[in-house]
Chain A
Amino acid sequence: MSSDVLQASRGLSPPKGEAIAIKGISKRFGSIVGVDNVDLHVEAGEFLSLLGPSGSGKTTLLMMLAGFETPSSGSITLGSRDLTHVPPNKRGIGMVFQRYALFPHMSVAQNVAFPLKMRGLAKAEIAPLVEQALARVRLQDYGGRAPAQLSGGQQQRVAVARALVFQPPVLLMDEPLGALDKKLREELQIEIKTLHASLGVTIIYVTHDQEEALTMSDRIAVMDKGRIQQLGSPVSLYHEPNSSFVADFIGKMNFLKGIVSGLDDRSIAITVSGQTISVARSQLGGRDDVAIGRPVQIAARPESLSPTQNGEGAIAGDIETTIFLGSHRTLIVRSDDGTQLQVQVPSSHRDSGVEQRGRAFVRLDPGAVRVFAGED
């Protein structure tokens, strides 16, 4: 371990990220299942987010990677090293905690120096590495301060510097920006992304903010009930969710109830709010046990719904309210069969005939919806 750091301090090639292979890992707390048989392969240098609602097992999975929880079953491999039973202090994986966990009795520089001190480096070797790590997070002049004298964002940057100073191949972050306000969060997102790009370290990033996951990640693992529900790039998760859970969790989504009214080997006809649309079989997410007469759910993004003037082939309803959002507006429409729909309208659509109140007709773009069968 310390030889890696030594090499780095002598200016040899910086260590790159390493791959992590998680195989069949589970964690049970008595009868509660925190993580349920998760398989996950994280590529070297990848930025992977664990995204999911509260209690979905993200932290538990991260704690097992860091060595703070022992898996009930399964294994973890870093590069070619089996980590499953390695104690946390021997893993050499960096970690950033949600509330920073900076040592309050040490200065910023001492905090950052701590991992190096624990690795037995001499004082003279530590100083330049600490300086370099602080410079990386633009805090080179803050080494002498106490953590309590820094703002939340600065404290989190110190935590990042401390986790990276020993050049770990993998960095774990558990909702690192959860305690910060929106603007600061966006600033730090960019900063973390930049660091990731320049260091090539593998990052596993826990968040329950789907926007954050979409903007930062190479891939996202959406978790629920201790399992990975879907793993994929932000684009594929957004456009091709394979369950209504993922569809609902990522981005804004309308759900309409439909009945399968026709079927062939390439397309499906669905009756929804009195209209019949035809979708391709490839738009079917998850289980594909569709049959004529069965109910299905149609998931449509607000941008794939549009208001029209006439009711021909459109869903009729009443506008409940209009929300102005700068580049576009969102109409909240209550369809005649009671479903609430969000319809996105470009702001320039002044003359589209859409009223603030009153009747509206909403057209569905059949090519842009997902269909889920066999779910309620």
Chain B
Amino acid sequence: MSTLSETPALDVLQSPPASRAALSPHLGRWLLHGFVGLVLIFLLLPTLLVVPMSLGEASYIQFPPKGFTLKWYHAYFADADWMSATWFSLKIAVATTVSATIVGTLASFAIVRGSLPGAAALQALTLAPLIVPHIVLAVALYLVFAPIGLTGNFFGFAIAHTMMSVPYVMLTVSASLQRIDPALELAALNCGATRAQAFWHVVLPNIAPGVAAGAVFAFLASFDEATVAFFISGVEGKTITRKLFEDIDYNLTPVIAAASTVMVVISLVLMGGVEWLRSRGAKAAP
């Protein structure tokens, strides 16, 4: 539009076709926006559908849900199985977050600021758990973990999930490390700080948003992870995803919808936190 008015000669020359053409782009734009709107509904609705389903009275899946009740949430919170699965998942996710963040941050620092032989290979290897199908990881981990009692086990999960979450930490932390001025660290050393002090007092505060984002991604990657959890869970040690898996297959009650809603809320709250961090980081950047 604006280009036409900036070139008056063309405007005059093309004035009759331009006015006719003006109609079709509008139509085109409406069609495009309408289509995109439908796709967005397709994307969003199934995700949020679990919320109304968890609030209906009927004890089977019914649509549209009738009535309003919180009894399925009561059932969820009162059920020892659900609770132990939820706590187990939360404990694993917290442990994964801590270990993946520490391991990933240190390794990113070594790769970006150090002289590692084969750094490129290590970086490629780090990303592999993102690419290798989870089913392959799942059966492979089961094969190794089962004989040594690491299935259904907190440590087994923590190790498996740390391996799967570390790439997210490495991606966000490396990106932050590459963005900060390397002279900052040199300046800290020049001021008399040891390597560790320079990292702690100067580098870390400046990559904190990346570290925090990586930590949240690691938490969610663990908490939401289903395939590996399905295979390396045990009768005792069972994650919320494994419990969901079982109940969807055998016992399709609205409690599942309630548990799902809890999961969705946890995920969205954490992701909202990351977005907030990111927008703050963008504002702080010069």
Task: List A residues at the B interface (Cβ < 8 Å).
Answer: 1, 66-68, 87-95, 97-99, 101-105, 114-115, 118-119, 148, 162-163, 166
Contacts and interface: CB of A to CB of B under 8 A. Distances in A.
Given A114-B201, A118-B197, A148-B286, A101 B184 contact: yes
B67 interface: no
B89 to A, nearest CB: 35
Contact of A97 (B186, B192, B286): B186
Contact of A101 (B181, B192, B201, B205): B181
A88 B205 CA distance: 21
A134 to B, nearest CB: 16
A-B pairs, 4 with minimum CB distance: A118-B192, A101-B183, A115-B191, A101-B187
A147 to B, nearest CB: 10
Contact of B206 (A68, A95, A104): A104
Contact of A89 (B192, B201, B205, B286): B192
Given A97-B183, A118-B197, A148-B286, A103 B189 contact: no
Given A119-B192, A148-B286, A88 B206 contact: no
Interface of B: 181, 183-184, 186-195, 197-198, 201-202, 205-206, 286
Given A101-B183, A101-B184, A95 B190 contact: yes
Contact of A99 (B183, B198, B205, B206): B183
Contact of A68 (B186, B193, B195, B286): B186
A95 B187 contact: yes
B187 A68 contact: no
Contacts of A99: 181, 183
Contact of A105 (B195, B206, B286): B206
B191 A114 contact: yes
Contacts of B186: 66, 68, 88, 95, 97, 101
Given A104-B206, A105-B206, A114-B201, A89 B189 contact: yes
Contact of A114 (B181, B188, B195): B188
A97 B191 contact: no
Contact of B192 (A1, A98, A105): A1
A89 B194 contact: yes
Q: Pick the most buried of A99, A102, A118: most chain B CB atoms within 10 A of its CB.
A: A118
Given A87-B189, A89-B192, 7 more contacts: A67-B189, A68-B186, A89-B189, A89-B193, A94-B190, A101-B184, A162-B191
User: Helix, strand, loop or mixed for chain A's interface?
Assistant: loop
A114 B192 CA distance: 9
Contacts of A67: 189
A126 to B, nearest CB: 13
B197 A88 contact: no
Contacts of A89: 189-195, 198
Given A105-B205, A148-B286, A115 B183 contact: no
A94 B184 CA distance: 14
5 contacts: A92-B192, A101-B187, A103-B187, A103-B188, A118-B197
Contacts of A66: 186, 190
Nearest to A172: B190
A76 to B, nearest CB: 15
B190 A103 contact: no
Contacts of B201: 103, 114
Q: Pick the most buried of B181, B183, B191, B194: most chain A CB atoms within 10 A of its CB.
A: B191
A28 B191 CA distance: 27
Contacts of A88: 186, 189-190
Nearest to A159: B187
B184 A103 contact: yes
Contacts of B193: 89, 114, 118
Contacts of A105: 205-206
Q: Pick the most buried of B187, B201, B202: most chain A CB atoms within 10 A of its CB.
A: B187
Nearest to B185: A101
Contacts of A93: 190
Nearest to B204: A105
Contacts of A104: 184, 206
A103 B181 CA distance: 10
B198 to A, nearest CB: 8
A101 B197 CA distance: 16
B114 to A, nearest CB: 14
A87 B196 CA distance: 13
A105 B285 CA distance: 12
